[in-house]
Chains A and B, each alone.
Chain A
């Protein structure tokens, strides 16, 4: 993974010290809360319902075991012994004391981490494929470009006060696991006719109140021009994006209002001036960063499929876990392991300090000391020898980390909702937990097959309900929590926004509604068709009939 050099280290250390001085000015009363607010937001510190919340960046979801242990230490020392992994591959701590934040940031800096730009109207943490560098289907390693973008966007003097927040995602695989079509900028790596790798540039995707699938404004961009092209997009957006209404300030509204063709012309005109500037990436810098992501020296191993089959035959639970939680590795004899943070024991994405340490230890024992966070709030161990999977699974189970539900009905994405968030209209976590409780029978979960449920506690859509196969949106109806359903959403290569079923359901009926939707799917599906494919084939009507009775 990327290793900080003297420049990177100096920057995060100086930044932490700068924040220490800012906190001091706040505590002495020199700064009012109003004046302090933009400064703390630049460092990922929110004031929530009960306490300060700190969001720490996990750049493109990559963590070393050392960093994970530090996150555990921070959970113990500065929080209540746990942390919450987010849909943007970051971690949030919900019970933070303002006066301790400078020390916390200084500790993060020691392990090459920071909270810079994890909030505010600026370029946020760049996100990527959680299987980057190890996926069997990968064309190019997106992490090299993520790191280049991370550095370019950090404390960018021109783009730190944008109309609204700005999110960039990169995928290097044709099977998009980074949801690039629902980001402000999505970059999809592919090869041109000459076999050279470059970027398809997609802009104006997004969720929130007005969801949009992004538009491709350039089919192929040479990698050396990546930063000048991004700078051109951002410069157009910074000047022309709406600033009169915060709900219309994202780039998706600008692209939608002026049209993708006009937007493209503006960007290309700006880019013509920038492309041969200092932003053009020198090969030496691309090489320096690429070297950090060179594959580790994998000891040669034979494919262990026969062994796994016999182990699985004797242990149905292990077979289920292999089926849902393992992805194909590019190197023979190795597997990518997903660790589910969706057990019944805790809210989606939550992890105790003890579990974090356990995961870090397992990353060292069954890999090269690396972990990943994915955008569905789970973790990944990227390099596990196939023949050690059984052993690893048994150890994961002793820590409550062996839940066999990745990509299935109980692998629910949920925002913090009304339990924590000051924007929420309804609770998300209890609904997620009730659904999870209803689907505890593993055979049933696996029979239902691939299915994503996403829950947001308000229309800001932090739980990404628009792109859940089943999306659930909490709304406030005369002081009571109601839940509206959307069906057919997807964030992959076949990205789509879900469609509303109709009127919402009170909290007490929400889980029954999920049951009804799933029963309808099971009744109508053709052989091993996925939920989303059945929905696309049969349409909304049978689901509405099941939910609301015949029209």
Chain B
């Protein structure tokens, strides 16, 4: 599994212990929502980076008051058809003000990278032999965006009326 962060191949500093029965929380780890609920007090004050993974049926409102504790939030796509995390990403970025790493994981199609990037993901855990190339292809296909999203791209509406004013 390759990690792509901000368009570049990156090493993953985190150990994913979200599925472990007797997790070892030392070092940089990614935990599950139930683990967070159970060990919140112990994990809150630590110095090592902490990440959390949310299943597609776990809404980000459940952690909206805890965001300061997480340096990465991982949202799962159990199949490419399950699009709930697109809304979850937007809520984390636009509504709850999360600015840290937002990572997509699971079944991700190359063509979805573009949508994911628009809704606020900046890292991707992808099962691909050449993730960087995939990223470049996905990013180069389109250059017009009709609707505002969680990226900073100017919409067609904005550009149209800016041109008129200039």
A interface, CB within 8 angstroms of B: 5, 7-8, 10-11, 14-15, 17-18, 21-22, 35, 38-39, 42, 121, 151-163, 227, 235, 238-239, 243, 273, 277-279, 282, 284-285, 288
Contact = CB atoms under 8 A, between A and B. Distances in A.
Interface stretch (B26-34, B40-48, B67-75, B145-153): B145-153
B141 A14 contact: yes
A284 B161 contact: yes
B6 interface: no
B146 A273 contact: no
B161 A160 contact: no
Contacts of B112: 161
Contacts of A278: 148, 155, 158
A155 B114 CA distance: 10
Interface in B126-166: 137, 141-149, 155-161, 164
Given A7-B156, A121-B81, A161 B144 contact: no
Contacts of B114: 157
A513 to B, nearest CB: 41
A97 B81 CA distance: 26
B14 interface: no
Q: Which 10 A-B pairs have the closest CB atoms?
A: A161-B83, A157-B118, A157-B115, A11-B144, A278-B148, A7-B156, A18-B141, A151-B146, A158-B86, A238-B87
A21 B142 CA distance: 13
25 contacts: A7-B144, A18-B141, A38-B109, A38-B111, A39-B111, A121-B81, A121-B83, A154-B146, A155-B115, A157-B86, A157-B118, A158-B83, A158-B86, A158-B119, A159-B83, A159-B86, A160-B86, A161-B81, A162-B83, A163-B83, A239-B59, A239-B87, A278-B155, A284-B161, A288-B160
Contacts, number: 106
Nearest to A15: B142
- Residue of A15, A155, A239 ringed by the most chain B CB atoms within 10 A: A239
A285 B146 contact: no
Given A14-B141, A18-B141, A39-B111, A160 B83 contact: yes
B119 A157 contact: yes
Nearest to A282: B161
Contacts of A163: 83
- Residue of B116, B118, B141 ringed by the most chain A CB atoms within 10 A: B141
B11 to A, nearest CB: 28
A155 B155 CA distance: 12
Contacts of B145: 155
A347 to B, nearest CB: 33
B12 interface: no
A282 B145 CA distance: 17
Given A11-B156, A154-B146, A273-B95, 12 more contacts: A8-B144, A10-B143, A14-B141, A39-B111, A151-B156, A155-B146, A235-B90, A238-B87, A239-B88, A243-B84, A278-B148, A285-B161
B66 interface: no
Given A38-B80, A155-B146, A285-B157, A161 B141 contact: no
Nearest to B148: A278
Contacts of A10: 143-144
Contacts of B137: 21
A156 B147 CA distance: 7
Contact of B148 (A151, A162, A279): A279
B146 A35 contact: no
A158 B87 contact: yes
B100 to A, nearest CB: 20
- Residue of B83, B95, B115, B155 ringed by the most chain A CB atoms within 10 A: B83
Nearest to A236: B87
Contact of A284 (B81, B84, B149, B164): B164
Nearest to B88: A239
A288 B159 CA distance: 13
Contacts of A279: 147-148
A238 B160 contact: no
A140 to B, nearest CB: 21
A285 B77 CA distance: 36
Nearest to B144: A11
A14 B144 contact: yes
